Chains A and B, each alone.
Chain A
Amino acid sequence: MNPGSNSDAFLADRARFVRTETVRLSRIAGAGHYSSTFSAAELFACLYYDHLKLDPANPAWEERDRFVLSKGHAAIGLYPILADLGFFAPSALDDYTRLGSPFGDHPDMKKIAGVDFSSGSLGHGLSIGLGMALAGRIGGRDYRVHVMLGDGELHEGQIWEAAMAAGHYRTQGLIAIVDRNTLCIDGTTEEIMSVEPIEDRFAAFGWAVSRIDGHDIPSIRATLRALKPAGEGKPQLIVADTIKGKGVKRMEMALNWHVGNLVGQDYDDVMAELMGEEA
């Protein structure tokens, strides 16, 4: 891969691909985390097609950048990208979640090439990323570690243990990206358990912080490009303001689409809506 060589239009197309594949795979499973994946689609596309230093032919390459999907329930959007990049054959996804499939709702690093760590239990990923960043420091490697967090995930206490420790150890190569789609399962984060001001909270823990529109591809690209290299310095936080369910009107900011199942005419309508988005 050649970071930076793809056009904004191509990245937008890959974000659409994340959404259509999520709809397709959810129908195979009979349920899926649509809206949490849709909010992250542009972030996924920019990370994987424009930013991360990876070698799909050598998933264990020690110098690769790491990506930890701490909000593991969005894995349905990650799998198609990994297949598209060549980590495994796209046809492997055709029995998504069926008995014996490597692909469950939450990702398993031991079964899926390109998954840097298993996830699913919220609150763990930032600590994993910190461990990876410290490993890079010990080993003198210059890779960076990117951890995608849900905004509701910030309720978990371990996030703040990790945030404190990353600030303390000054792991500049640790990058947290918060998918700030504002909704958790029972309501908005600010109703259920407020997380704002996210930037101030992380800044107080010793992080360099920025905030962007998480659906604006040029803005995401520029922010990722401006990230500092691995080394001693403040760990870096990107709060990406997003819309939960982005791209499908019936799902946007709708609480009842955290997990759902599109079938029949609804499936066709949503697919058409997503395909038309590019027209």
Chain B
Amino acid sequence: MAEAQDQSEIFRGTQAGGALRDARSVQGTPAAAAPAFILGEELADMADADPRVVALTADLASANRLVEFKARHPARFFDMGIAEKNMLTVAAGLASCGYVPFAATFASFCALLGAEQIRTDCAYPRMKVRAIGHHSGISMGFYGTSHHATEDLAMMRSIADLTVVCAADANALRAILRESVDHPGAMYIRLGRGRDPVVYGEVPALRFGQAIRLREGRDITIIATGAVVRATLDAAALLAADGIEARVLDMHTVKPLNLAALEAAARETGAILTVEEANIVGGLGGAAAEALVDMPRIPFRRHGVPDEFAPVGPPAALYAHYRLDAAGIAAVARETLKRA
């Protein structure tokens, strides 16, 4: 269970000593400059205008900043205690009465512990529950496997009638939250640490199921999702220095996958690399592989966490270990092209 809430300062990078490795961005941005975790503030802003917006958490309001929602909308905030399954099903009950509940906790508990509640109580009856899994992937670093969530994309993607979306940064999250209110059915929204390095200087025009092209290129398309989008863009810059022009797509919606963007990438750039902070089995790479098998053969590689339980370590060290930093992603892209 989530007993790390009292250490939430770690994720905000404000703990004494400041140099906590955990709070560093993939790029090595100093902790003090880490972007704000806007979840609570944005939902509170939305709730100002929309009486349907409700928020729930499982004793992690300080970590995910829903404390800011609670302060502004106490009657529409429910801390369900360390009981994630109940939280998700209560959200479904609220949704059945016309509310749009945003239920947030660590991705490991939201998606893994709550998988059946998301499937049976949210997706199957098409309840407008937004299950928000934050601190996904290996971003919990040295907290270890119990707090890592590398399986959530594959698990959530296999659930019918569930939209699966990953936020690349704070502005992407704003766009996703705003778009989600009138989107039909249940959603799983996956965040990194919630203070992920900046990709979007402003709130992007984001439509579910339509990838955002962040960089144009003709040699390869790197399709990324979630908190590794920034590192992927930086990898593209490194590749450009070598004369390799990479198209970069933010495939924020893992389900339904934007097949047209995938097909165009295959046809126009001739090689595809997927990048995700998740087990490469069944996630974004799995989704792309399933689609590409029906298309003409091109060099293709899935990059992410291999099918193993990650070691403990500071997140930045883990990203380097798994080559999910800019240098690593660039190296994998070069290998993908060499195999061509």
> CA separation between A161 and B98, bound complex, in Å?
23
Tell me the smallest distance from the CB of A234 to a CB of chain B, in Å. Answer: 18
A263 contacts B by Cβ under 8 Å: no
When A118-B124, A121-B120, A169-B78 are in contact, do A132 and B94 touch as well, CB less than 8 Å? Answer: yes
When A124-B89, A136-B97, A158-B89 are in contact, do A165 and B116 touch as well, CB less than 8 Å? Answer: no
| Residues of chain B within 8 A of A169, CB atoms compared | 78
> CA separation between A88 and B94, bound complex, in Å?
25
| Residues of chain A within 8 A of B150, CB atoms compared | none
A127 contacts B by Cβ under 8 Å: yes
B91 contacts A by Cβ under 8 Å: yes
When A136-B97, A138-B54, A162-B86 are in contact, do A128 and B92 touch as well, CB less than 8 Å? Answer: yes
B210 contacts A by Cβ under 8 Å: no
B94 touches A131 (CB 8 A): yes
A276 contacts B by Cβ under 8 Å: no
Instruction: Out of B76, B81, B98, name the residue touching A165 (CB < 8 Å).
Output: B81
B125 touches A124 (CB 8 A): no
B125 touches A131 (CB 8 A): no
B85 contacts A by Cβ under 8 Å: yes
Q: Render B97-132 as a binary contact track against A, CB cut-off 8 A, 1 for contact.
A: 111010000000000000011001100111000000
| Residues of chain A within 8 A of B233, CB atoms compared | none
A131 touches B124 (CB 8 A): no
Query: What is the number of residues of chain B that contact chain A, defined by CB distance less than 8 Å?
Result: 28
Tell me the smallest distance from the CB of A184 to a CB of chain B, in Å. Answer: 20
The binding surface of chain A is classed by DSSP as helix
B54 touches A130 (CB 8 A): no
A129 contacts B by Cβ under 8 Å: yes
Instruction: Out of A139, A158, A168, name the residue touching B97 (CB < 8 Å).
Output: A139
Query: What is the number of residues of chain A that contact chain B, defined by CB distance less than 8 Å?
Result: 31
| Residues of chain B within 8 A of A164, CB atoms compared | 81, 83
A134 contacts B by Cβ under 8 Å: yes
Tell me the smallest distance from the CB of A62 to a CB of chain B, in Å. Answer: 7
B85 touches A158 (CB 8 A): yes
Instruction: Out of B85, B96, B116, name the residue touching A132 (CB < 8 Å).
Output: B96
When A131-B89, A138-B75, A161-B83 are in contact, do A124 and B117 touch as well, CB less than 8 Å? Answer: yes
> CA separation between A32 and B81, bound complex, in Å?
38
Q: Render A120-148 as a binary contact track against B, CB cut-off 8 A, 1 for contact.
A: 11001001111111111111000000000
- Chain A interface (Cβ within 8 Å of chain B)? 62, 108-110, 116-118, 120-121, 124, 127-139, 157-158, 161-162, 164-165, 168-169
